Amino acid sequence: MSVTQPIRNISEIEKLKNYYYLEKPNLRNYALICLGINSALRISDLLELNWQDVYDFTKKHFLKHIMLKERKTGKQTRIALNQNALKALQLYKSGLQQINPTDYLFPGRNRANHLSRSQAFRLIKTAGQELNFETDISCHSLRKTFGYHAWKSGAQPAVLMNIYNHSSFQTTKRYLGIEQDDRDQIFLDVNL
Q: Which of 15, 114, 143, 173 is catalytic?
A: 143
Can 72 be counted among the known catalytic residues?
yes
CA distance 137 to 60: 35
Q: Which of 42, 144, 149, 173 is catalytic?
A: 42
- Nearest-CA neighbor of 137 among 18, 26, 37? 37
- Nearest-CA neighbor of 150 among 73, 82, 67? 82
In SS3 terms, 71-87 reads as CCCCCEEEEECCHHHHH
Instruction: Please give the DSSP secondary-structure letter assigned to residue 136.
Output: -
Can 104 be counted among the known catalytic residues?
no
Can 109 be counted among the known catalytic residues?
no
Q: Which of 114, 140, 144, 149 is catalytic?
A: 140
Q: Which of 28, 93, 166, 174 is catalytic?
A: 166
Can 42 be counted among the known catalytic residues?
yes
Can 61 be counted among the known catalytic residues?
no
Can 114 be counted among the known catalytic residues?
no
Q: How far is CA 86 from the centre of its chain?
A: 13
Q: Which residues are catalytically annotated? A: 42, 72, 140, 143, 166, 175
